[in-house]
Amino acid sequence: MGLSPGSLLTLFFFFVISCHQRHVLAIVDGLLPNGNFEYGPKPSEMNGTVVTGRFAIPFWEISGFVEYIESGHKQGDMLLVVPEGAYAVRLGNEAYIKQRVKGLVVGVYYSVTFSAARTCAQAEELNVSVALDSGVLPMQTIYSSDGWDSYAWAFQADFQQVDVIIHNPGVEEDPACGPLIDSIAIKTLYPPRPTNKNLLKNGGFEEGPYVFPNTTWGVLVPPRIEDDHSPLPAWMVESLKAVRYIDSDHYSVPQGRRAVELVAGKESAIAQVARTIPGRLYTLTFAVGDANNKCEGSMVVEAFAGRDTIKVPYESSGTGGFKRAELRFAATSIRTRVVFFSTYYHTRSDAALCGPTIDDVKLLSVRTLPKH
């Protein structure tokens, strides 16, 4: 039985509405609306650099002592620089910025990337929260020579719309001593699964947080990040310092478009737990290199798989390159922890922290190794 022209028109109408709603609600990877704060308050909603209106910054809600800072603004003898565009915000004592994000898919993982710079205080930190999830990101260590670092933090959506909040929990004598915030973005994460070609998930680090195209310092994955909410899916940062997530647009990457740089010696480690069969032989292969970022010197990457370990030396000229390494071991448990860290600290000539890169990590049972 055929449909009448009226019924066809009604179906078409609902199809168009459905497509339109999906288009409107879909999360697009990249900056949040006014995520770089280029649209600022009206002059009537400011007192000098201090924002006086709760909703004065378009798309954002603020609370507490929040300043709207133009690049080149002087604070005493210090010149404040903005990483992207001309404006950023500064969060004073107990201040926060908040934006409601809609169109999330419940159960799906997302990562938030933002850039931040420390100003006067030496032990600043930021609290990032989405719905019931929150995490404190330490800012005591500055990893880049520009004074700005980009950080990533991930969450699993419990609701279709959530408030993304960045809060400065510090209390300083000078309320204008809080961190600068700029360029806030979101990205959907698609956690990969192990395959018959690799027992490790995301071994090439292709899945990870949003990387700002106009910055050259990569993205820091904070310390003590567990794998259930990691912006680097499947991997844990089980150390006191962050690791740097880098891309092939700005760095030398051994394989694909992404890699990890171990920027803080033994305090900068990544790990993953894989399912193994006790007594069976396995091989762990990976690439060690430098990021073509003028990080020079004798590097050593240590890799652990269960009770076995290997030290891989790499002589870096700081101009890019890599070598491959292999560790064979017999599993002693149904779960084997694989860990990587750099033996030594390294700094560039401009004092920026740096280190060896890790990429193309594969774990395979010897009986399933591909034949040559």
pLDDT single digits (tens) 255-307: 999 999 999 989 989 999 999 999 999 999 999 999 999 999 999 999 999 89
Pick 187 or 173 by higher pLDDT: 187
Rounded Cα–Cα distance for residues 165 and 138 (Å): 16
Is 0.95 surpassed by the pTM of this model? Answer: no
Distances (CA, A) of 161 to 148, 153, 189: 30, 17, 17
Average pLDDT score over residue span 100-128: 88
- What tokens were used for 266? 């033994």
The CA-based angle 167-146-188, given to 5 degrees, is 50
Instruction: List the domain boundaries for the chain.
Output: 30-189, 226-368
CATH superfamily to which 30-189 belongs? Galactose-binding domain-like (2.60.120.260)
Count of Cβ atoms closer than 10 Å to residue 12 Cβ: 10
pLDDT greater than 60 at residue 115: yes
Query: Which pair of tokens denotes residue 187?
Result: 């990205």
Got the DSSP string for 15-64?
A: HHHHHHHHHHH---SEEPTTTT--S---GGGEETTEE--TT-STT-EEES
- Measure the CA–CA gap between 301 and 246, rounded to whole angstroms: 17
The 10s digit of each residue's pLDDT in 309-326 is: 999 999 999 999 999 999
Distance of CA 82 to the CA centre of its chain: 19
Determine how many CB atoms are found less than 10 A away from the CB of residue 153. Answer: 27
What b/e sequence results for 82-94 when a residue is b if at least 16 CB atoms lie within 10 Å of its CB, and e otherwise? bbbeebbbbbbbe
Equal CATH topology for 30-189 and 226-368: yes
Give dist(CA 175, CA 194) in Å, integer. Answer: 49
Rounded CA separation 108/162 (Å): 13
CATH architecture of 226-368: Sandwich (2.60)
Least confident interval from 29-33, 145-149, 166-170, 238-242: 145-149
**On the CB side of 261, how many CA atoms lie within 13 Å of its CA?**
30
